[in-house]
Structure 1
Amino acid sequence: MRGSIRTRAPAVPRFRPAAVARLCRLASLVVLVALVSGAHVVGAGPAAQAREAPSSFADMAERLLPAVVNISTTQSMTGERGPQMPQFPPGSPFEEFFREFFDRQGPGQGQAPTMPRRATSLGSGFVIDKEGYIVTNNHVIEGADEVTVILQDDTALKAEIVGRDPKTDVALLKVEAEKDLPFVEFGDSDRSRVGDWVVAIGNPFGLGGTVTAGIISARARNINAGPYDNFIQTDASINRGNSGGPLFNMDGQVIGVNTAIYSPAGGGSVGIGFATPSNLAQSVVDDLRRFGEVKRGWLGVRIQTVTDEIADSLGLDRARGALVASVQEGGPAAEAGIQAGDVILSWDGDDIREMRNLPKAVADTEIGSTVDAVVWRDGKRQTVKVKVAELEEEEAAAMAGEEGAPAPAPETAGAEVPSLGLSVQPLNDQTRESFQIPEDVQRGVVVTDLNAESDAAEKGIRPGDVIAEVNQKQVTTAEEIRAQIQAAKDSGRKSVLLMVQNEAGSRFVAVRIGDQ
């Protein structure tokens, strides 16, 4: 018919019934071979390698529960109990009257004598061998007069404190039992991965033998609990009383000691718990068992974080390593030739990614051994050999991190350094007395004034601080500071590195160069 358009349907091929049957059988065979051989099918995801969630934790819990114990401690508490000073609004006429009354009421003045009382606390722990050695947290047994271990069958045993380590919050106990105790073994925490299933067993709120499950949420967490923070984070429910209990992997091995929780509301679990990794805890336990204390390697430096600006001022490609703020005289670092201003990039073959990695790496090094340390100095890498000594308590402060700035000192006039937003004067008897500068600070220039809106002020520099070096060059005048600033500008750098000294010690501060 004129004016109409006809669309022809595509031709459908015709097959004989026998041929169709053969094709169907062939297609079925191809699919079956693909399924059996695991052949990859386009559009399908790769085969999962991770272990599937177990249908039940019952068999595992039944096997592990006997080795997990409750820990009860008692402690004698003394204190004066008497009338307390009421609170009044500032300036209230009653405040002065009541203050005179309470000042006259010394101990025993009209007050009944108080008797010592007993405080009790609860925690968790786990047996690590049949002889009765038990691991828990230091804070569970700290200050305790008596420690009692309660087994799953309610047997109560008096425990001896073999040793404890506040820095990692790990403690080791020993009990004497009439028979061999069930125990659990440490696993390799370094092999654990984010997303792995874990099980926590403990004594939350005094409810013994409680089992919870979750996953590893994160690793290597720093919660500012100590110098060797490297926590495993988990969402397995951990509450008060779980402290010191074990965190198990799916093989029933201890990969962590439950230590802390994040709880903004009343101490209950919100799914953020932290466990000390087993590799760290096990090394501490081994020392406690052998020596009753932990023996750690010592370097003898005070360190601080390498920021992006510090890295730029030193010519480093990125922020990494640990910046040496000061070196303790006579220590291993001083003997090896490590200097203030060096950035330690590697220790015994392991990269130091950030400042907090160095204390743990040094502490884990065998005492008396000699290791290679790679440092960044004068714009290039250098290797020094360090003989590691033993860390003593009085030397522990040398491994501390960054310190806060001192309180402001009186202002005096000085020579301006406009590009840094501050003024300085030479270090002499007059400025030393005016700003109460410690006697051990022997060189540099004194900051006498600074612009409150300057980068130097934002970085914590205050009047009374002494600038000893600029870009790792000693300075004694404002002119020398300006010369180093100009050299930094000529090399294309946007900041200069100042060594600042005060009563808190030495530290490095990267300060942006202003336009002036």
Structure 2
Amino acid sequence: MQGQTQRRGPGTGAMVAVALIIAVVASTLGSVGTYLLTRSSGNATDPSYSLGPVPTGAASRAPDSVPGVAARVLPSVVSIEAGSASEGATGSGFLIKNGYVVTNNHVVAAAASSGEIRVMFNNRKTTSARIVGRDPGSDLAVIKPEETFGTPEITLGNSDQVVVGDPVIAIGSPLGLTGTVTTGIVSSLNRPVIAGDDTGTSSEEPAYISAIQTDAAINPGNSGGPLVNGRGEVIGVNSAIATLSRSMNSQSGSIGLGFAIPVNQTRRVAEDLISTGKARRSKIGIVLDKEYRGQGVRIASEPSQGQQPVDANGPAGKAGLKAGDVILEIDGLALQDGNELIALIRSKAPGSKITIKYQRSNQERSATVTVVADDTPAPSPS
């Protein structure tokens, strides 16, 4: 209608401005409210605050769990300090039948001629010990503490039943930290390891070990301690670690490559050392060609240092092996080098039968060889 004015609502700009004002006011009121709700007597403490009560009741562990196994095995594991005025070493060991302790030769070697050995048990009691016997060739030794303080003997297992992937627990005193427990699996079997000095500068021979490899953390001081299975049975003696420098005796830390002497070999060597003071050395009566670089391991073609390549009256000679034959496999395991063959033979008990696949004139043959003991094993001075 003419003469009337039309009413109009607020513009878009005014509405945006109002919305912003409302948002700022709401934010301010929220902050003030939060402050008023959380302040307490002018500071940030809350006298009524609580995280609740500590859970009660016994925390049980299954006997076959890692804590359960560790609780059974730890009392039988000892820490060892051995040395003379000029050198010393620390390591671990474990108690076997009649109060003897098994450890590594390199742990106690420093005290062999003149020195002292101290053994500390899991209950922190200490005593002196004497060397019963040492075998540098297997890096094993047996000592006898003066007292055992009622310590239980450990249970020995069967290393021939171990398979790759089995869970294992390593126990010992790495870096002097007694009663240390680490876990892992069996990473490999029959791993050839040379422990000791293989340069020829040491007065003691190197140890050739057909080792159990594990990723359970093993560090300096673990040497001589037990590697046990899920039942708490010893399957190996922790002896060496690999490092990034490829040295098996370096004092570097674990990189997940540890090596243990199989317990079946340990059992045999310990029995020999306790019974006679010396360990029998297994052999098949051959001399290896150290210059050979082909597949397998070749028997020497010529005599070396007065020894014939094949002892005619030895196990290999009686089985038909001859000079120049190339040994390809032992019990189905393809050989990589001579060190592996030596380690495998030494891990066998005298009287054991092994199957050898070998090559002669480009023809493969096989033979069954019975391992024998060296006729004149010489005990290490102790």
Counterpart CA distance in 2 for 1:221 and 1:373 is 18
Within 5 Å, which residues of 2 pair with 1:394-409? Answer: none
Q: Could you give the per-residue CA deviations for residues 440-468 of structure 1, whole angstroms, max 9, x where no partner exists? A: xxxxxxxxxxxxxxxxxxxxxxxxxxxxx
Hey, what does 1:14 align to over in structure 2? Answer: none
Match of 1:242 among 201, 222, 245: 222
Q: Could you give the per-residue CA deviations for residues 217-258 of structure 1, whole angstroms, max 9, x where no partner exists? A: 222222333563222222212111111111110010011111
Hey, what does 1:126 align to over in structure 2? Answer: 94
Please tell me whether the aligned partners of residues 324 and 343 of structure 1 are also in contact (alpha carbons under 8 angstroms): no
Please tell me whether the aligned partners of residues 373 and 386 of structure 1 are also in contact (alpha carbons under 8 angstroms): no
User: Counterpart of 1:123 in structure 2: which amino acid?
Assistant: G
Match of 2:240 among 250, 260, 274: 260
Please tell me whether the aligned partners of residues 262 and 269 of structure 1 are also in contact (alpha carbons under 8 angstroms): yes
Structure 1 pair 339/161, CA: closer, same or farther in 2 (3 Å)?
Answer: same
Structure 1, unaligned stretches of length 5 or more?
1-52, 78-118, 311-318, 395-516
Secondary structure, counterpart of 1:271 in structure 2: coil
- The offset of 1:306, in angstroms, is 10
- The offset of 1:270, in angstroms, is 2.2
Identity in percent: 39
Q: Could you give the per-residue CA deviations for residues 102-138 of structure 1, whole angstroms, max 9, x where no partner exists? A: xxxxxxxxxxxxxxxxx54321110012x21111111
Secondary structure, counterpart of 2:84 in structure 1: strand
The structure with higher relative contact order (CA 8 Å, sep 6+) is 2
Alignment pair present for 1:198 and 2:168: yes
Q: Could you give the per-residue CA deviations for residues 331-360 of structure 1, whole angstroms, max 9, x where no partner exists? A: 87234375321234577xx45631445434
Q: TM-score if structure 1 supplies the norm length?
A: 0.49
Hey, what does 2:325 align to over in structure 1? Answer: 342
User: Counterpart of 2:275 in structure 1: which amino acid?
Assistant: R
Q: Could you give the per-residue CA deviations for residues 181-221 of structure 1, whole angstroms, max 9, x where no partner exists? A: 31112212222222221111111111111111112222222
User: Counterpart of 2:187 in structure 1: which amino acid?
Assistant: S
Please tell me whether the aligned partners of residues 243 and 252 of structure 2 are also in contact (alpha carbons under 8 angstroms): yes
Hey, what does 2:299 align to over in structure 1? Answer: 323
Structure 1 pair 124/330, CA: closer, same or farther in 2 (3 Å)?
Answer: same
User: How many residues are treated as equivalent by the alignment?
Assistant: 288
Counterpart CA distance in 2 for 1:304 and 1:351 is 22
Alignment pair present for 1:359 and 2:358: no
Structure 2, unaligned stretches of length 5 or more?
1-61, 196-205, 246-250
Within 5 Å, which residues of 2 pair with 1:71-470? Answer: 71-77=80-86, 119-129=87-97, 131-144=98-111, 145-177=115-147, 180-225=150-195, 226=206, 228-264=208-244, 267-304=252-289, 310=294, 319-320=295-296, 322-327=298-303, 329=307, 333-335=311-313, 336=317, 338-344=321-327, 350-351=331-332, 353-354=334-335, 355-360=338-343, 362-363=345-346, 364=348, 366=350, 376-380=359-363, 381=365, 388=372, 390=374, 392=376
Counterpart CA distance in 2 for 1:178 and 1:279 is 24
Q: Could you give the per-residue CA deviations for residues 384-415 of structure 1, whole angstroms, max 9, x where no partner exists? A: 98894625469xxxxxxxxxxxxxxxxxxxxx
User: Counterpart of 2:210 in structure 1: which amino acid?
Assistant: N
Counterpart CA distance in 2 for 1:386 and 1:218 is 26
CA root-mean-square deviation: 3.5
Hey, what does 1:70 align to over in structure 2? Answer: 79
User: Counterpart of 1:302 in structure 2: which amino acid?
Assistant: V
Structure 1 pair 71/382, CA: closer, same or farther in 2 (3 Å)?
Answer: closer
Alignment pair present for 1:61 and 2:67: no
- The offset of 1:375, in angstroms, is 5.0
Q: TM-score if structure 2 supplies the norm length?
A: 0.65
Please tell me whether the aligned partners of residues 302 and 326 of structure 1 are also in contact (alpha carbons under 8 angstroms): no
User: Counterpart of 1:277 in structure 2: which amino acid?
Assistant: P
Structure 1 pair 123/383, CA: closer, same or farther in 2 (3 Å)?
Answer: closer
- The offset of 1:152, in angstroms, is 1.1
